[in-house]
Amino acid sequence: MCFSFIMPPAMADVLDIWAVDSQIASDGSVPVDLLLPTGIYIRLEVPREATISYIKQMLWKQVHNYPMFNLLMEIDSYMFACVNQTAVYEELEDETRRLCDVRPFLPVLKLVTRSCDPAEKLDSQIGVLIGKGLHEFDALKDPEVNKFRRKNAQIQ
């Protein structure tokens, strides 16, 4: 007896605000919560396709109206950070990326001072490229993967 299973067509997540055909962001803008180092929280309507640099400029225009602005350093001393769709904390060093390409888990961006740890940045970029965090990748218990890792460790 032979069974043939036909898979139903894939459905896009209707709550995914970063999807092109999202019903939530029908006008092309998304409310983004921005957290400042001073503890101030600002919500801005941001175009879905906006670059990180553009969002930062929008934020900086608004920041002048909030308390403790004088405690902030110049704009280039900061970058945004978020938790992405793979549940990895990501610092958005490349400000030419679009918000819809970054795909934060929630539309929340935190303004942080720039760090200079190149190994951490590289790990974050690798995690984004492979689609899972490196901590998840390291936790794999696949014997084939472990054998490959041992061989590469011996080569180095």
Q: Are 80 and 112 in contact (CB under 8 A)?
A: yes
Note the pLDDT of residue 82: 94
Query: Each residue of 9-60: pLDDT tens digit?
Result: 554 555 677 676 665 556 778 899 999 888 899 999 999 899 999 999 999 8
Backbone angles phi, psi at 26, to 5 degrees: -65, -30
Query: In angstroms, how far is the first alpha carbon of the chain from the final one?
Result: 52
Q: Tell me which DSSP letter residue 125 carries.
A: H
Q: Which of 24-28, 87-91, 92-96, 137-141 has the least mean pLDDT?
A: 24-28
Best CA proximity match to 44, nearest among 35, 55, 56, 31: 31
Does the pLDDT of residue 88 top 80, yes or no? yes
Does the pLDDT of residue 110 top 90, yes or no? yes
pTM of the model: 0.64
Beta-sheet pairing, 89-92 with 78-83: antiparallel
